[in-house]
Amino acid sequence: MMTKNDVINKLKLLASRFSDKKYLTLKEIRSVPKLDYYIQFHFRKLGNALKAASLPSSKLAAGMKITNEELLNYLVDIGNKLGRNPRVWDFADDKDIYKKYSEYKISWSIYKTRFGGLRKALELIGKDTTKAAKAAKIGDTNKNKTDNSGFLWEKRRFCGQAAEIHVMAELLYRGFQAANIPVDVGLDILAVKQNRTYYFQVKHKDLSNNQAINITKSSFERTGGGEVYYIFVLLSDDKRDFLIVPYHIMNDWVREKIVEDTNDGYLIYIKKQANHYMLKEKVLDNYLNDWEGIK
């Protein structure tokens, strides 16, 4: 097992080995077995580990350190200054507000990765995307009580984090070394078992509503591979179930058009009928709680 100091020393050694490069990237880091896992285990984010090793961070690594709540609050701040909803070019024009949250300018594209688009991020903070609206900070206790967008955002955030914790616990019970990884790379959990590394994207689904599970095309195309699994945490009043779907099966579903193909992503409508989970007419029992299928 690598300690924090081991990770720092390996990062410094890598930096000296690749001294011709301005920043260490995941490509260099993954040349050292399990280093990416222990970076997440000890530091949670690559940017944090690089900072601990007194090494410079790339813009991508720095962006991974920003929380979703900070990104939403940045939208509020920049909207307050502009007196309207921020547009794509406003992020490049911002000269000072970003410094409250990041050492580098915040790109509008991170909102596509984190929230599915700038418009959807604006909706989460209760902004009217067709005209200027009164700004309000996330968690502001003086916010209009009839506007529950902040509450809905918090509920989604907590449910998403709880689902990841559920999955990590199940993996740990089964002998995997598991740790969170940044949302920016399109995956949520990295796990190691018997010298093999696995990656998981976790989505939660409340069975009390008909909302679809959304997987963005950018993350699907970027993260595809034999060691990638999608885990859908299905929430009901009395239990939690896990659908564990390998990437190649998801790819089949896309090709067979049993998931809905939109401009930005794939919508997966899972429902329960007669004690069976269904995706359209396909019965999903083979993937239900199939932890042994991770291999």
Co-location of 182 and 289 in the same domain: yes
In a domain, 154, yes or no: no
What is the pTM assigned to this prediction? 0.53
C-alpha–C-alpha distance, residues 99 and 106, integer Å = 9
pLDDT at 141: 40
Same domain flag for 183 and 280: yes
Do 217 and 197 fall within a single domain?
A: yes
Q: Does 129 share its domain with 178? A: no
Kindly state whether residues 183 and 246 are assigned to the same domain. Answer: yes
Domain boundary among 21, 45, 63: 63
Instruction: Quote the tokens at residue 154.
Output: 């918090």
Cα dihedral across residues 24, 30, 33, 38: positive or negative: positive
Cα separation, 148 vs 126, in Å, equals 8
What range defines the domain where residue 108 resides? 68-147
- The answer to whether residues 83 and 189 belong to one domain is no
Task: Evaluate whether residue 142 is within a structural domain.
Answer: yes
Same domain (yes/no): 178, 256: yes
pLDDT score of 147: 47
Give the list of residues 6+ apart from residue 144 with CB closer than 8 angstroms, or none: 136
Same-domain check for residues 54 and 89: no
Residue 239 lies in a domain: yes
In a domain, 226, yes or no: yes
Any domain includes 22: yes
In whole angstroms, what is the distance from residue 268 CA to residue 273 CA? 16
Residue 63 has a pLDDT of 54
146 alpha-carbon distance from chain centroid: 29
Do 27 and 72 reside in the same domain of the chain? no
pLDDT tens, per residue, the chain with 295 residues: 889 999 999 999 999 998 888 878 777 888 888 888 888 778 867 777 888 898 887 655 555 567 777 888 899 899 889 888 888 889 889 999 988 887 778 888 778 767 777 888 888 776 544 443 333 444 444 444 344 444 444 455 567 778 888 899 999 999 999 988 755 566 889 899 988 889 999 998 888 878 888 888 777 776 666 688 999 999 877 678 999 999 989 988 988 888 988 877 889 999 888 889 999 889 999 999 999 999 8
Burial class of residue 263 (count of CB atoms within 10 Å of its CB; 0-12, 13-18, 19+): exposed
- 178: domain CATH number is 3.40.1350
Domain membership flag for residue 155: no
How many whole angstroms separate alpha carbon 197 and alpha carbon 143? 45
CA distance 245 to 288: 9
In a domain, 166, yes or no: no
Give me the pLDDT at residue 122, please: 85
Tally the domains of the chain: 3
Residues 201 and 247 in one domain: yes
Cα dist. 1→18, 34, 37, 41, 199 in Å? 24, 9, 11, 11, 19
For the CA atoms of the chain, what is the radius of gyration?
A: 20
What's the confidence (pLDDT) of residue 133?
A: 38
Q: Are residues 206 and 261 in the same domain?
A: yes
140: burial class by Cβ within 10 Å (0-12, 13-18, 19+)?
Answer: exposed
Residue 176's pLDDT is 94
- Shared domain for 72 and 59, answered yes or no, is no
**Cβ pair 64, 47 in contact under 8 A:** yes
H or E segment to which residue 206 belongs: strand 196-206
